[in-house]
């Protein structure tokens, strides 16, 4: 066996362990009995420690260094080695004890979040979240950073991004999106009350499955379940699972959760199975991943063309709700712009203020400017400042997201980054694919999926996000594409001159 084959074998063994952890985590959020949490946390922590010990084995580091100097490797092989070597050097900064401690604290925080949500009481979450924030501050120091501790954690999800860059991006949001939203508020507002009638749970579920199939999601290599917070998880490109949630009094909740998570799942199912375990067998970044879900959710799933095909079917399923609602009225309603409390239910414009609030709070937490016990106060005040809403209670406020309970600090900005990538990618797809929008109106999205597979999915981590964007569109991420898309769409909907 040559060195590169030895490397691949090691990486696939590690991937087997890490995806076993993922199976336990999926089960934790979908099926776990109420009193089973302590041992499940122990099991995940043990496997996390084993994975860390195997990956940080000095012999593996020596193998990577030797491969990194091997001139016989082709370009893709070199990339797999260099990316893994970077990950290795990063991981060797942490002891096995630290990894197990982190895993236990994440499990404790997650179950505390569930309990706090059950009782609508943030106080029950403060102590475990405080311990988790403390270890995330410790993690940032161990990883190292030049300017801001948040940079260290952000790099885990969006390699190469920094606070300095994101501050510029969110300044664009403030300077361009805020004035546009003010103009929208001056226009006649849209009535979407008919979306909040009673929609039978089973009928919604069946419609969601049909939507996923039509997108190209392969149910022979995946499944959908119910979870408190919709998510996508993969154990290989041949086993990619999605979850949704259903509110019988809000059709939008289930529908766009399915489309959003379906976009994530299509990315994972599009990664070549022969790259399993290797960097070229995983996604480029969280921002690129989010670009796939937001492209399907908004540029496709909230377009009038999409519903020209799907709306007649939906009317037949819910005739008592929708038979007298025209396509134009339905289209306007599903794109209503209105400030709200819940990020996952926000329209695609106000959504970025939800993300910006979390970004600002995370920066403050990591920089020791505020403590967890103060989070609720700052959360509520920022919602008043940015969205002019008074938070009703903890579940519609500080407890709505699962991410902090997962230890995912540095994750939230990727949601906005992904939306901006999505606008840039979709504009290019429309340019490249003849009659794309007409095809979508006929229920045909297979050409779009093929374009995404060829340009994004099949490359894995071969290119960093900014490099991938430039290869596809000819330039790096640019907020102008999102703003142009938003103005064109919403000026029409709100009949703005």
Task: Give, as one character, the DSSP assignment of residue 234.
Answer: E
Q: Is 71 helix (H, G, I), strand (E, B) or coil?
A: coil
* CA-wise closest residue to 170 among 445, 423, 355: 355
Residue with tokens 């374009």: 451
Residue with tokens 């290119």: 463
Residue with tokens 């979508």: 440
Question: Which residues pair with residue 391 across a beta bridge?
Answer: none
* CA-wise closest residue to 55 among 100, 19, 90, 21: 90
- The first and second tokens of residue 190, run together, are 């849209």
**In angstroms, how far apart are the furthest CA atoms of the chain?**
70
Q: For residues 54 and 52, what is the distance between their CA atoms, to the nearest angstrom?
A: 5
* CA-wise closest residue to 29 among 242, 254, 252, 266: 242
Q: For residues 416 and 482, what is the distance between their CA atoms, to the nearest angstrom?
A: 10
DSSP string, 97-116: HHHHHHHHHHHHHHHHHHHH
* CA-wise closest residue to 205 among 247, 237, 261: 247
Strands of 239-244's sheet in order across:
224-226, 239-244, 232-236
Task: Give, as one character, the DSSP assignment of residue 190.
Answer: P
* Gyration radius of the chain's alpha carbons: 23
* CA-wise closest residue to 409 among 167, 113, 96, 156: 156
Handedness of CA 90, 95, 96, 97 (dihedral sign): negative
To the query of whether residue 437 is one of the catalytic residues in this protein, the response is: no
From the list 29, 158, 261, 348, the catalytic residue is: 261
φ/ψ bin of 346: left (φ > 0), alpha (ψ from -120 to 50), beta (otherwise): beta
* CA-wise closest residue to 25 among 50, 48, 54: 48
- The first and second tokens of residue 118, run together, are 């059950």
With b for 16 or more beta-carbon neighbours within 10 A and e for fewer, the 52-91 pattern comes to: beebbeeebbebbeebeeeeebeeebebbbebbbeebebe
Handedness of CA 53, 58, 61, 67 (dihedral sign): negative
Instruction: Tell me which residues are annotated as active site.
Output: 261
């Amino acid at each position: 066996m040559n060195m590169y084959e030895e490397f691949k074998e090691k990486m696939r063994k590690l991937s087997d362990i890490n995806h076993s952890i993922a199976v336990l985590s999926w089960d934790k959020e979908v099926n776990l009995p109420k009193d089973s949490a302590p041992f499940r946390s122990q099991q995940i922590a043990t496997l996390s420690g084993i994975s860390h010990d195997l990956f940080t084995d000095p012999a593996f580091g020596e193998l990577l260094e030797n491969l990194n100097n091997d001139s016989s490797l082709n370009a893709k092989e070199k990339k797999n080695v260099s990316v893994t070597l970077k990950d290795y050097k990063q991981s060797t900064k942490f002891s096995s004890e630290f990894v197990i401690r982190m895993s236990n604290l994440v499990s404790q925080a997650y179950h505390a979040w569930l309990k706090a949500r059950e009782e609508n009481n943030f106080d029950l979450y403060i102590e475990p979240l405080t311990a988790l924030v403390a270890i995330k501050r410790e993690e940032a120091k161990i990883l190292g950073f030049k300017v801001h501790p948040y940079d260290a954690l952000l790099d885990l999800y969006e390699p190469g991004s920094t606070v300095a860059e994101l501050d510029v991006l969110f300044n664009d949001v403030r300077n361009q999106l805020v004035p546009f939203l003010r103009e929208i508020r001056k226009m006649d507002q849209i009535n979407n009350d008919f979306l909040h009638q009673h929609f039978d749970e089973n009928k919604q579920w069946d419609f969601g499955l049909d939507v996923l199939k039509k997108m190209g999601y392969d149910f022979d290599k995946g499944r959908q379940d119910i979870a408190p917070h919709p998510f996508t998880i993969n154990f290989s490109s041949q086993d990619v699972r999605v979850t949704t949630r259903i509110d019988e009094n809000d059709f939008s909740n289930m529908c766009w959760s399915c489309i959003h998570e379906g976009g994530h799942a299509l990315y994972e199912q599009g990664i070549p199975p022969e790259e399993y375990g290797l960097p070229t067998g995983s996604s480029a970044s969280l921002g690129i991943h989010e670009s796939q879900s937001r492209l399907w959710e908004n540029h496709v799933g909230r377009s009038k063309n999409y519903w020209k095909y799907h709306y007649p079917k939906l009317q037949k399923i819910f005739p008592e709700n929708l038979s007298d609602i025209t396509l134009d009225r339905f289209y306007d309603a599903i794109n209503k712009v209105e400030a709200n409390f819940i990020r996952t239910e926000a329209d695609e414009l106000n959504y970025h203020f939800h993300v910006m609030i979390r970004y600002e709070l995370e920066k403050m937490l990591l920089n020791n400017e505020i403590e967890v016990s103060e989070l609720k106060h700052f959360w509520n005040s920022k919602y008043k400042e940015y969205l002019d809403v008074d938070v009703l209670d903890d579940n519609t406020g500080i407890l709505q997201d699962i991410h902090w309970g997962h230890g995912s600090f540095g994750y939230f900005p990727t949601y906005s980054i992904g939306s901006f990538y999505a606008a840039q990618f979709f504009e290019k797809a429309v340019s490249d694919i003849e009659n794309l929008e007409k095809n979508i109106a006929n229920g045909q999205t297979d050409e779009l999926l093929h374009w995404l597979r060829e340009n994004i999915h099949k490359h894995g981590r071969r290119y960093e996000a900014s490099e991938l964007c430039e290869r596809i569109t000819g330039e790096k991420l640019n907020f102008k594409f999102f703003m142009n898309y938003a103005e064109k769409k919403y000026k029409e909907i709100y009949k703005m001159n």
